[in-house]
Structure 1
Amino acid sequence: MAHTNANEVRNLSDADISEKIDGLRRELFQLRFERATRQLVNTHRFKETRIKLAQLLTVQSERQRSIIS
């Protein structure tokens, strides 16, 4: 998973962002499970997934705050 630019994330639709957030949360759950059972081979995926999720959540939060204002 390559690091994405914040502008690339901002160009996504709200539905795409929500879908990607759900997918990343499922992936994080799976990665945590693999780490707990010592099956996780690529440990860097855990950090990359958390960073990507944080980017998406930030953009989603920005959009929600702009609707309220």
Structure 2
Amino acid sequence: MAPMKVEDIRAMSDDQREDAVLNLKKERFNLRFQRATGQLENTSRLREARRDIARIKTIAAQVRAKKK
């Protein structure tokens, strides 16, 4: 899975962004579990998931600041 694009994140509603963050956190948990048990093949996905979460949270904060 490729990193999420900023344009796609900006096009999301607040609820969609929250759902995306929740799904990414679940995925990150599963990836960490796989790494701990030696089953993780794509180690770069952990980093991508972490950065996608940060990207979504940053854009959400920008959108909230713009609304004020």
Same fold (TM over 0.5): yes
Task: Give 5+ residue unaligned stretches, structure 1.
Answer: none
Count of residues in correspondence between the two structures = 68
What pairs up with 1:1-69 in 2 under 5 angstroms?
1-67=1-67, 69=68
Distance 1:34 1:65 in 2: 37
* Deviation by residue 1:32-68 (Cα, 9 ceiling, x = unmatched): 111111111111111111121111111122223334x
Ranges of 4+ aligned residues in structure 1 off by more than 2 Å: 63-67
TM-score by length of 2: 0.84
How well do the aligned residues superpose, as a CA RMSD in angstroms? 1.4
